[in-house]
Homo-oligomer: A and B are copies of this chain.
């Protein structure tokens, strides 16, 4: 497997960064995870916008343009003969002086790596959620960024797996629903689609945007709703959106069953169709 590292394609085993890279020292960086379909990274522009917004927040200069990297991402997929994959973009502030101050760290590190992924089918994966004890901050300057400081998510996910679940439900410090460790959260109340507002601490997900668009197009009532965990247990359906897997159905929360819903399947199909159109458009 080859990796794109600061402008060069190199074997994964040789892809290394300094132990003084601030991404390693402090999680001082950003990342994006994109689905690659037929060699095309999906919704590149949406992911790039979020990365560029994050880079502005962190005051890290993006070392390549969107156009150059998009072309390199396709080249990476060809070179690795991996047309169906997950692509990770990583931007870190690079090496600086000791301490939190980012002064003097002005040569960022940029990495793209590919990871094998199964072809996406119409059936949504079914996941169980476990409520994390660690709480997210409510929406702040950082919650709009997909930062590389993700230890809270790692521990929440590990606790979920230890409890026999697939992913963690994350609440914010006010006890409101925010997101899952891996994706955005949605729930259904009959034909109404709810999701937590970004102010609750959810990441502005690119697939979340796609679902919002799909709902508008199909004249479904759609609400950004501040709610507590109990509301999920009364929902008529629940799902997550992940850039890697599309729509994932949630069938249980903390051991309590959540009904499956045909609307979830329709929305999954809608997202898959959009993705296929995106892949086709670029080919």
Chain A residues packing against B (C-beta within 8 Å): 3, 5, 12, 15-29, 31, 57-59, 86, 88, 90, 92-93, 98-103, 111, 113, 115, 133-135, 137-138, 140-142, 147-158, 161, 173, 181-182
A16 CA to B24 CA, complexed, in Å: 10
A19 to chain B, nearest CB (A): 4
Is there an interface contact between B137 and A100, defined as CB atoms closer than 8 Å?
A: no
The 28 listed contacts between A and B (C-beta, < 8 Å) are: A17-B19, A17-B24, A19-B90, A19-B111, A20-B113, A24-B24, A24-B90, A24-B92, A24-B148, A25-B31, A26-B148, A26-B151, A26-B153, A28-B154, A57-B155, A58-B151, A86-B98, A93-B154, A100-B156, A101-B157, A101-B158, A103-B161, A133-B141, A134-B137, A137-B137, A141-B155, A142-B155, A149-B151
Is there an interface contact between A151 and B28, defined as CB atoms closer than 8 Å?
A: yes
The main secondary structure of chain A at its interface with chain B is mixed
A49 CA to B181 CA, complexed, in Å: 29
Given contacts A3-B19, A115-B98, contact A149 B27 (CB under 8 A): yes
A76 to chain B, nearest CB (A): 13
* Among all A-B residue pairs, the 4 with the closest Cβ atoms: A27-B27, A149-B149, A16-B16, A149-B151
Question: Chain B residues near A21 (CB, 8 Å)?
Answer: 24
Question: Chain B residues near A133 (CB, 8 Å)?
Answer: 140-141
A22 CA to B31 CA, complexed, in Å: 13
Contact with A173, one of B5, B99, B111, B137 (Cβ below 8 angstroms): B137
Is there an interface contact between B16 and A150, defined as CB atoms closer than 8 Å?
A: no
Contact with A19, one of B26, B58, B99, B113 (Cβ below 8 angstroms): B113
**Most chain B C-beta atoms within 10 Å of own C-beta, residue among A57, A103, A137, A155:** A155
Is there an interface contact between A102 and B151, defined as CB atoms closer than 8 Å?
A: no
A31 to chain B, nearest CB (A): 7
Is there an interface contact between A137 and B135, defined as CB atoms closer than 8 Å?
A: yes
Contact with A151, one of B86, B99, B142, B181 (Cβ below 8 angstroms): B142
